[in-house]
Amino acid sequence: MSDYIRPGTAAAVKGKRPLRLKKYWTLYALGLPALAAYFVWCYLPLAGWSIAFTKFQPGKSLFANGFVGFDHFVKFFKSSSGFGMVLKNTLGINLISLLLLFVTAAAFAVAINEIALRQFGRIVQMVSFFPYFMSYVVAYAIVYALFGMKSGAVNQLLVNTGIIKTAINVLGSEKAAWPMMIILRLWKEIGYYSIIFLASIVAIPAEEYEAAAIDGAGRWQRVWHITLPNIKRIFFIMLVLQFGNIFTNSLDQFFAFSNATNMDALTVFDMYVFRYGLLKSDYSYATAVGVIKSIVALVLLTGVNKLSKVFAETSVI
């Protein structure tokens, strides 16, 4: 009995690993190119973080640059237009838009699923999915055509009808910057994420709805007690996955809509790094900001993953 290994224990699992590698070696071999590409493009560039601790000058060797320690990090935290402003803009815009996006996408998927005319539901879904393929440059052209101060169709209509006296500078207003970014993201991505929620709804066994109908449950009761609980897990899984990218904004979105009058409200991490790294050529400082962004994102991802374990009994990590 001393040689007995209980099934499911760590020793038993460890003993099976060589057999699994031998049996499924072709599948592991197929995954090697993807792992190699991921390593080359995502982990190998992390060696460039060393620039954040030096006074980097293009053309010189990394070892020839002077070591400055944490000076760039301290500069970012002490700057009046640094960590506080950038963190507020990044978290504010992304967190609000992310939560609203998932809630509205889930509600939109439920509404499409409840539409009696299936053909009409498919048309609505296709139309809502179309903006996802549109670039933010095209989106800016549409917003400018509608809300531009001089030639915007909406502004001209409001002025000509006497509702407002002067045109509203939507594209140049700090107060309108956050709502504009949030609404644009909802408009572009609600169709995409509603498809994921709709696929989860379609996978719910029909027997659950039939049993609820036999028990006298109405349509909204079936939605509340069957549909929503079944998509709760995918909701939290997607939330955790997206939190990993919460600091990685769509640079083209903020680049297209930023200008001299709303820059402070739209300066997120990626825009800040772009401004100092490429426009001002302060590579060491921009790299330090990128390091801080990655660390804060990792901490947030870990925290949200733990919350997902508590509330939805599921997690990614």
Lowest mean pLDDT among 37-41, 79-83, 206-210, 224-228: 79-83
- Check pLDDT > 60 for residue 296: yes
What gap in Å lies between CA 228 and CA 207, rounded to an integer?
16
CA distances from 70 to 53, 135, 159, 275, 288 (A): 6, 38, 54, 21, 9
Confidence of residue 55 (pLDDT cuts 50, 70, 90): confident
Q: What is the DSSP letter of 225?
A: I
Q: Which pLDDT belongs to residue 17?
A: 63
Most confident among 90-99, 110-119, 212-221, 241-250 (mean pLDDT): 90-99
What pLDDT, on the 0 to 100 scale, is given for residue 312?
66
Percent helix, strand, coil in the chain, to 5, is 75, 0, 25
What single-letter amino acid sits at 123?
A: I
What is the C-alpha separation between 114 and 129, in angstroms, rounded?
18
As beta bridge partners, residue 54 has 67
* pLDDT score of 118: 77
The answer to whether residue 253 scores a pLDDT higher than 50 is yes
pLDDT band with cut points at 50, 70 and 90 for residue 313? low
Write out pLDDT tens, residues 106-137: 999 888 888 877 788 788 888 888 899 888 99
Tell me the residue type at 160.
N
Is the dihedral angle over the CA atoms 83, 89, 95, 98 positive or is it negative?
negative
Q: Two tokens at 285?
A: 């400082």
Please state the domain extents for the chain: 10-40, 78-312
The pLDDT of residue 252: 85
Pick the more confident residue, 23 or 10: 23
DSSP codes, 137-203: HHHHHHHHHHH-TTT-HHHHHHHHTTS-SS---STT-HHHHHHHHHHHHHHHHHHHHHHHHHHHHHT
Half-sphere exposure of 231 (CA within 13 A, CB side): 25
pLDDT(299) > 50: yes
Tokens found for residue 92:
């504010």
Q: What is the mean pLDDT of residues 161-187?
A: 87
pLDDT at 5: 45
Which pLDDT value is given to residue 190? 92
Of the candidate ranges 22-26, 45-49, 95-99, the one whose mean pLDDT is the lowest: 22-26
pLDDT band at 1 (very low <50, low <70, confident <90, very high): very low
- pLDDT number for residue 112: 87
Any idea which residue has 């006298």 for tokens?
A: 216
Q: Please, which pLDDT band fits residue 316 given cuts at 50, 70 and 90?
A: low
Q: What dotted CATH number matches 78-312? A: 1.10.3720.10
Q: Could you write out the DSSP letters of every residue in 257-276?
A: H--TTTHHHH--HHHHHHII
What pLDDT sits at residue 183?
92
What is the rounded CA–CA span in Å between residue 70 and residue 232?
43
Band of pLDDT at residue 2, cut at 50, 70 and 90: very low
Distance CA 185, CA 131 (A): 10
Instruction: Please report, for residues 4, 13, 30, the alpha-carbon distance to residue 8 in angstroms, rounded to integers and kept in the order given.
Output: 12, 6, 28
pLDDT of 63 > 80? The answer is no
Range 20-44 average pLDDT: 86
**What pTM does this model have?**
0.80
* Beta-bridge partner residues of 67: 54
Enumerate the β-bridge partners of residue 22.
none
How far apart CA 243 and CA 56 sit, in angstroms, is: 32
Question: Mean of the per-residue pLDDT values for the chain?
Answer: 83
Q: Position of tokens 């996006």? A: 101
Only one residue has tokens 């401004």, namely: 275
Q: Are 209 and 286 in contact (CB under 8 A)?
A: no
Q: Is the pLDDT of residue 158 over 60?
A: yes
